[in-house]
Amino acid sequence: VIWMTQSPSLLSASTGDRVTISCRMSQGISSYLAWYQQKPGKAPELLIYAASTLQSGVPSRFSGSGSGTDFTLTISCLQSEDFATYYCQQYYSFPWTFGQGTKVEIK
């Protein structure tokens, strides 16, 4: 099993801030990493796959980087609609695993 450590679990920020979320793997996964956004009461939505490829329709203020064991999701200029919970997911090997989630809240 590939274990994931996502940090921070809670991030307080203001509109316009640049925020960064980290995801660290227990072993290398090349670039087999996705990021999802989830709002309360809703299903998750895909933001980024292959560590850095933006899903169609996702605003360019979202970006992903990293490979191997360390990955980062960056929101360059936080908007009101970005306050949500974010999850990373590895799909390098089964069982697929998700990070614990990062809740981005209004400061």
Partner 1 sequence: EVQLVESGGGLVKPGGSLRLSCAASGFTFSSYSMNWVRQAPGKGLEWVSSISSSSSYIYYADSVKGRFTISRDNAKNSLYLQMNSLRAEDTAVYYCAREDDSSGYIDYWGQGTLVTVSS
Among 11, 19, 78, 97, binds partner 1 (CB under 8 A): 97
Which CB atom, from 1 or from 16, has the smaller least distance to partner 1? 1
- Judge contact between 4 and 11, C-beta under 8 A: no
Token pair of 56, please? 């169609």
- Judge contact between 3 and 97, C-beta under 8 A: yes
Shortest CB 16 distance to partner 1, Å:
28
Site residues for partner 1, 28-67, by CB under 8 A, read 32, 34, 36, 38, 42-46, 49-50, 55
Residue 71 within binding range of partner 1, rule CB under 8 A = no
User: What is the rounded distance in angstroms from the CA atom of residue 48 to the CA atom of residue 67?
Assistant: 13
Diameter over CA atoms, the chain: 38
Residues that bind partner 1 (CB under 8 A): 32, 34, 36, 38, 42-46, 49-50, 55, 87, 89, 91-92, 94-101
